[in-house]
Amino acid sequence: MQSLSGTRIAVLGAGLIGVSWAALFTHYGADVCVYDPEDAARAALEARSEAPYAHLAELAPDPAPRGRLRVTDDLSHALDGAMLIQENAPENIPQKHALFAQVEALAPPDAIVASSTSALTWSELAPGFKNPRRLITAHPFNPPHLVPLVELYGPDPARLDRAETFYRAAGRVPVRLNTDATGHIANRLASALWREAVHIVAEGIADVDAVDAALVNGPGLRWSVMGAHMAYHLGGGAGGMAGYLTHLGPSQQRRWASLGTPTLTPEVCQALIDGITQEAAAAIFPLWRPPATPPSSPP
């Protein structure tokens, strides 16, 4: 799949994640129909797409002629001819199951139903289908049009292959799980790191802004180009991971035992709120800003 031109995609739900997906897919050439039962969400879609489109124009100029973006309150209309259905309904199992029953009745039989779910797992969602092999989880890291990661899990290798090809053609980096797990991969890692970040504040080792500055100017920089396993492999010198584990495995195991298991007591929560309020007041993020004047229309 070199381009998404001519590919039909359904996006279910016009919230933050749905809008971001829809802008991404159309930017890469797909024809997208967004379904949302709420009038206000449908009415806001066009305006809320402007920022993602502006980001994409800067980051990935002209990968393909932009696809058609439509919005509807008719589910069958959205699903018509779709090869992939990106579901972004609220994180509520009965609500998702009810939607899946409708989707299964209306969607093309070989369509991939890809759930963006963050908090739920494939195993929790699958009972919403007569044929659960139609379902995969395809969890983006927010916002999907900016962060490349899409975490995939499902029982049907052929559907996963097709989904992977599709997301790659939309400039994403799909990563596969072998079993489903709450938090997939990335949010498990983020949760583990934040637990220790909270512990450091709760124990008075360092302030909230110091913890964030240490991350951003140290391991965060490294992890933007190299994974944690690779960092220890390279840190092991000529012996690599094997050398690291032989020489430093026992001390790493002792370090693990010394990490914290904080509780979000009222006092800990207040320390986090006070600390982040102070950090936010001083923060200057390298946020994208729209150009002062809109680009002139093409000649």
Shortest distance in whole angstroms from residue 251 CB to its own copies = 7
- Please tell me whether residue 34 binds its own copies under the rule CB under 8 A: no
Chosen residue from 1, 43, 105, 173 binding its own copies by CB under 8 A:
173
Contacts of 47 (CB under 8 A, 6+ apart): none
Q: Which of 110, 219, 267, 290 binds its own copies (CB under 8 A)?
A: 219
Q: Count Cβ atoms below 10 Å from residue 250 Cβ, excluding itself.
A: 10
By the rule CB under 8 A, 283 interacts with its own copies: yes
Q: Which is nearer to its own copies, 131 or 252 (CB)?
A: 252
> In whole angstroms, what is the distance from residue 42 CA to residue 54 CA?
20
Name the segment binding its own copies (CB under 8 A); options: 6-14, 92-100, 124-132, 283-291.
283-291
Site residue total, its own copies (CB under 8 A): 91
Query: Which of these, 101, 50, 57, 102, lies nearest to 76 by C-alpha position?
Result: 102
Cβ neighbours of residue 254 closer than 8 Å, sequence gap 6 or more: none
Pick the binder of its own copies from 109, 256, 289, 297 (CB under 8 A): 256
Pairing state of beta strands 135-140 and 149-153? Answer: antiparallel
Binding test (CB under 8 A) with its own copies, winner from 39, 61, 65, 251: 251
Q: Considering only residues 133, 269, 288, 290, which one is a binding residue for its own copies as defined by CB under 8 A?
A: 269
Interface pick for its own copies out of 43, 205, 267, 290 (rule CB under 8 A): 205
Please give the order of strands across the beta sheet that includes 173-176: 69-72, 31-35, 8-12, 84-87, 112-115, 135-140, 149-153, 173-176
In angstroms, give the least distance from the CB of 149 to its own copies: 4
- Nearest-approach distance from CB 267 to its own copies, in angstroms: 12
What is the separation of C-alpha 58 from the centre of its chain, rounded to a whole number of angstroms?
Answer: 20
Q: Does 282 bind its own copies (CB under 8 A)?
A: no
Candidates 139, 142, 18, 3; CA nearest to 71 is: 18
